[in-house]
Amino acid sequence: METTYYTSPIGNLEIKGTNNEIHSIYFIDDNLAPIEVKSKELQKCVSQLDEYFAGTRKEFELRLSPKGTEFQGRVWNELLNVPFGKTRSYLHQTKQLGDVKAIRAVASANGKNPISIIIPCHRIIGSDGSLTGYAGGVWRKKWLLEHESGSKQQTLF
């Protein structure tokens, strides 16, 4: 397992993976310099994040291996179906998974997503359009949605 650090416009990321797959991408508070990595998949990840933040990449082409329960895996796989620049509600996500009563469990699984940005849990919003919850902070969620939509989110006040 290798680790590197990535400086994004919305904070630093810690990326962990192997030569074959990405295991985690987390926002971190520390300001750590990137570590040169030998892993081809980590190199691809950094390159694709550069393209994403530059606005030239809309889909990631990486092998992902997030660690979690079977249920969490189903939730995270469903997140990969939300297109770039679009949002879905938690309720929509639970319907896609076949159990509208599982909305809290789905929201909890989204919050435990270990691969930020690539598995786009930031694209899931409240049914009323509110930017409810995001492990990296709601301000990051807002930034990511604006970045992907190409427009600023409107506020009422």
* Cα distance between residue 117 and residue 141, in whole Å: 9
Q: Return the H-helix or E-strand segment holding 57.
A: none
* Cα distance between residue 73 and residue 33, in whole Å: 31
Each residue's pLDDT tens digit, 10-24: 999 999 999 999 999
- Is-catalytic flag, 121? yes
Each residue's pLDDT tens digit, 19-75: 999 999 999 988 777 788 889 999 999 999 999 999 999 999 999 999 999 999 999
Which of 121, 125, 144, 145 is catalytic? The answer is 121
SS3 144: helix
